[in-house]
Structure formats: C-alpha cells, structure tokens
Amino acid sequence: MPIRPEDFSYVSKLVREASAIVLEAGKEYLVELRLQPIAQQAGLATLDKLVEKLKQDPTGPLHKRVIDAMTTNETSFFRDLHPFETLRKDVVPELIRKRADTRTLNFWCAAASSGQEPFSTMMMLRENFPELASWRVNYIATDLSRDMLARCREGKYGQFEVSRGLPAQLLVKYFDRRGTEWQIKEDIRKAVDFRELNLMKPWGPMPTMDIVFIRNVLIYFDVPTKRDILLRIHRLLAPDGYLFLGGAETTVNICEEFESQVIGRTTCYRPKQRVKV
C-alpha cells in the first residue's frame, strides 16, 4: 500500500532532523521500499502502523532502524579509481616528505559505508609505501549507520562486492576466504578505527587531519548543512591537507574557505592560504 502523505512528511522530518538527509517529494517510493521490511520485522502490517508506533515512542530503537534504513550505502572498492591514483602518485609522497619530522599521518573517511573506501586506501598504502610501516598512520573511519559499522568491523564481502573494483592480486593478498565470502585480513581491519559519527552533530575530539575523504554523502544534504560540515572540516584539516569529495560534489559556491586543485585526474580541495597584510 502506498505511504500516506502525512506519514511521508513525518518520516522525512524525522530523517532530516536525525541525519540531515533530505527526502524530497517524489521519494515516497524509496521510503516505502526501505521501510516495508522494518514494518514486517516489527510485526506491523502497514506503514501507517509503523509511523503510529514511531509517534508513540519518539526515542525508541525503531527510530534508529528507520534512519539507518534511509541511508544509501552504495560503495565499492577503489570507487572512481582516480582519487586513489592521485593519493598514490602525488598526495601521499608529498605528505611523507612534509611529515618526515613527526612521522605521523592522519586520515579520516567520513562516510565509510561498508568499509570499501578505507580498506582500499589501506591496501594502497601497504602496496606502495612500505616505509609507512614504521610511522604512526592513524585512520579514522566513521558513519552514521550502526549496521554499516558492524559490517566494516567484520570486513566480510560477497563475491559480487569483491568483483567491483578490487584487483585480483589484492583480493588474494589481503583477504581470506570464508565459505562464500571474503574477509579482509585482521591486521588491516584492526588498523582502521571505526567510529559511529553523525556529521550533523558535534564530532568529538579528532586529531588535525592530513587527508579527509567525505565522498558521496554531502549530496544528500541541503546547502546550509553542507556548508556547516565543510567549515568544520576546514578547521580540522592541516593547512597543507587535502579534502576529497565525490565526483558530483564540490565546495564551490558553498564554502569559499576551500579552493579546488586538479591533481592528475582528480579535483582535490585545499584550505585557501590566507594572504598576510
């Protein structure tokens, strides 16, 4: 049964307030598709019954499940490839030179989904920069979705997932076969600090970051929310740090504290250097 307009408004408001994700008119089909299974699991026959239950218990666990279900978790290993090439060829070698005194590199992946993005970066670092074995490489990977974070910590992927973007030699080298699935090796899993973090809430203490990946998540937010998040990233990023966004995302006309820089085949964003007067 189609969702009633008043129930769609209730769900959109709830999701927007909790996660900043904007569900515009026309996204009713998505709400129906994603919430039907939750209603069924909760023993509720229809979506209006689910909404009734949400209203009765506005802080209950069902809310978290609804918000999790409304996140889009599409991702893949080495997604878009070029950002990882730019990291490998330009960004990481430059930062290794610049951070030779502290021998520390800080990475943040701010919408980790099921973990392919942080694990792709870790594999790329292991393959190309053996000298980093004696450095402190801090990799924080965060997401709003507890289901996704559980998947990240387990690091298990089906055949379809490992066939998307992951070169066969990396699969063989960094994964163990577990029945029909593949699990990324424990030392890589343990090298990433997975944390629950809602981008629209306070982030808690974080180190100054050298590289921030926040790809394919800002697209779901309105402009003031994008600006607020980008400004906070600006404060967190080292003056010579690098910000990577998704291919359909930009800081231009949203947060003028960044400037874009094309490196190889990737557009990166850098904190604008203030001119001293």
Ligand X SMILES: C[S@@+](CC[C@H](N)C(=O)[O-])C[C@H]1O[C@@H](n2cnc3c(N)ncnc32)[C@H](O)[C@@H]1O
**Residue of 245, 189, 240 whose CA lies nearest to 212:** 245
Residue 36 near ligand X by CB under 6 A? no
CB nearer ligand X, residue 74 or residue 131: 74
Output 78 or 174, the one with its CB closest to ligand X.
Answer: 78
- CA-to-CA separations, 75 to 56, 79, 118, 120, 177, in angstroms, rounded: 35, 7, 11, 11, 21
- Residue with structure tokens 């960044």? 258
Do the bridges between strand 175-178 and strand 181-184 make them parallel or antiparallel, or are there none, so unpaired? antiparallel
User: Is 165 a residue that touches ligand X (CB under 6 A)?
Assistant: no
H or E segment at 234?
Answer: helix 223-236
Structure tokens at 63: 């809310």
Assigned token pair, 18: 């909790």
Report, in Å, the least distance between residue 94 CB and ligand X. Answer: 23
Smallest gap from Cβ 18 to ligand X, in A, equals 8
Which residue lies nearer to ligand X by CB, 48 or 85?
85
- Given 7, 8, 15, 19, the residue binding ligand X (CB under 6 A): 19
Tell me how far apart the alpha carbons of residues 181 and 162 are, in angstroms, rounded to a whole number: 9
Q: Does 117 bind ligand X (CB under 6 A)?
A: yes
Residue 206 binding ligand X, by CB under 6 A: no
The piece of 130-138, 161-169, 209-217, 263-271 that touches ligand X (CB under 6 A) is: 209-217
Among 165, 246, 247, 264, binds ligand X (CB under 6 A): 246
Decide whether 75 or 267 has the Cβ nearer to ligand X. Answer: 75
CB 90, min distance to ligand X, A: 20
Q: Which stretch binds ligand X (CB under 6 A): 26-34, 90-98, 124-132, 144-152?
A: 144-152
Member of 217, 230, 233, 245 binding ligand X (CB under 6 A): 217
- Does the footprint of ligand X cover residue 120 (CB under 6 A)? no
CA–CA distance, 56 with 72 (Å, rounded to integer): 27
> Running DSSP on this structure, what letter comes out for residue 21?
-
Question: Stretches 109-117, 119-127, 167-175, 253-261: which one binds ligand X (CB under 6 A)?
Answer: 109-117
Q: Give the CA-trace dihedral at 176, 114, 231, 137, to 10 degrees.
A: -10
Counting contacts by CB under 6 A, is residue 200 touching ligand X?
yes
Q: What is residue 251's three-state secondary structure?
A: coil
DSSP H/E element including 138? strand 136-143
Q: Which residues ranging from 70 to 99 are in contact with ligand X (CB under 6 A)?
A: 71-75, 79
Q: Which of helix, strand or coil describes residue 261?
A: strand
Q: Name residue 46's amino acid.
A: T
Residue 193, SS3 per DSSP: strand
> How many residues in the shown chain lie near ligand X by CB under 6 A?
24
Q: Which residues bind ligand X (CB under 6 A)?
A: 19-21, 71-75, 79, 111, 113, 117, 143-145, 148, 197-200, 215-217, 246
